[in-house]
């Protein structure tokens, strides 16, 4: 998982030009280093309002909504359906989602054969169905590999990449691959083979605590995106 955790106080100014040209936020990015086989931390500066990475209109227009993605999927279909049906948004999160003031687009770059995509996509679908302010679409990573290249971690393409965008397709926040808690479990697994990891991930995303961890991280970024766009 890669996403920014705010470490500084934001200005209370309402001047968007200030955010656009000056204001930067000290942040920490957490990501999994495959070579070192561990979570590592990278201090960086995150541009708070406007990001140079922009989703092209074509990518958004060609991305499918959740139902269409499921209809075209060949793997993990029943698994995603079961996770969607089994996951319930808490009352507190329902209230937060209904309070979203700005339109947020969530673009997921992923594939149905990816266990991390199958584990997290149903949760994002539940989030999006809660409020008309959030729209979710999925872009198949294989078909748009060149676009996916922009979001490499440690030189490798990871799925899913979850982009929180404005209606002008400016990137506001980003989340990659899996929640923090999942990395620790996978890292401590005794069977490190590819098949062993796949089996482990399928079991992992059936755990309500891991599902809630993903939900919490997504909610943090939804609210962050809303504040970036001017939430009062």
d(CA 178, CA 186): 11
Rounded CA-CA distance 196/48 in Å is 39
% of residues, the chain, pLDDT over 90: 63
Q: Would 189 be classed as within a structural domain?
A: yes
What pLDDT score does 55 carry?
Answer: 53
Range of the domain at 168: 52-228
60 assigned to some structural domain: yes
Residue 216 has pLDDT above 80, yes or no: yes
State the average pLDDT over residues 194-207.
Answer: 81
* CATH code of 193's domain: 3.40.30.10
pLDDT per position as a tens digit, 174-184:
999 999 888 87
In a domain, 21, yes or no: no
229: pLDDT strictly greater than 50: yes
Q: What is the pLDDT of residues 28-66, one digit of tens each?
A: 344 444 444 444 433 333 333 334 445 578 999 999 999
Does residue 154 have a cis peptide bond before it, meaning omega lies within 30 degrees of 0?
no
Residue 38 lies in a domain: no
- Residue 120: which of 193, 5, 50, 221 has the closest Cα? 221
Residue at 10 is within a domain? no
Distance (Å, rounded) from C-alpha 134 to C-alpha 229? 13
What's the gap between Cα 192 and its chain centre?
25
212 vs 187 pLDDT, higher one:
212
d(CA 106, CA 171): 10
Domain count, the chain: 1
- For residue 46, being part of any structural domain is answered with no
**5 assigned to some structural domain:** no
**Predicted model pTM:** 0.77
Residue 131 lies in a domain: yes
Q: pLDDT tens for residues 97-140? A: 999 999 999 999 999 999 999 999 999 999 999 999 999 999 99
CB burial readout 33-62, b (16+ within 10 A) else e: eeeeeeeeeeeeebbbbbbeebbeeebbee
């Amino acid at each position: 998982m890669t996403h920014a955790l705010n470490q500084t106080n934001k200005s209370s100014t309402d001047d968007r030009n200030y955010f656009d040209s000056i204001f930067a936020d000290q942040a920490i990015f957490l990501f999994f280093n495959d070579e070192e086989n561990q979570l590592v931390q990278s201090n960086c500066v995150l541009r708070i309002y406007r990001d140079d990475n922009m989703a092209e209109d074509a990518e958004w227009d060609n991305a499918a909504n959740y139902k269409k993605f499921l209809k075209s999927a060949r793997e993990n279909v029943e698994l995603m359906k079961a996770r969607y049906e089994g996951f319930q948004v808490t009352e507190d999160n329902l209230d937060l989602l209904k309070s979203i003031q700005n339109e947020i687009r969530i673009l997921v770059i992923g594939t149905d054969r990816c266990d991390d995509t199958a584990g997290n996509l149903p949760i994002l679908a539940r989030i999006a169905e809660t409020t008309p302010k959030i729209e979710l679409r999925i872009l198949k990573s294989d078909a748009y590999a060149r676009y996916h290249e922009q979001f490499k971690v440690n030189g490798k393409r990871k799925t899913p990449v979850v982009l929180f965008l404005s209606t002008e397709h400016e990137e506001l926040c980003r989340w990659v691959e899996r929640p923090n808690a999942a990395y620790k479990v996978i890292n401590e697994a005794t069977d490190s083979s590819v098949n062993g990891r796949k089996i482990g991930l399928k079991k992992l995303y059936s755990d309500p605590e891991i599902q809630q961890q993903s939900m919490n991280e997504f909610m943090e970024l939804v609210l962050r995106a809303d504040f970036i766009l001017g939430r009062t």
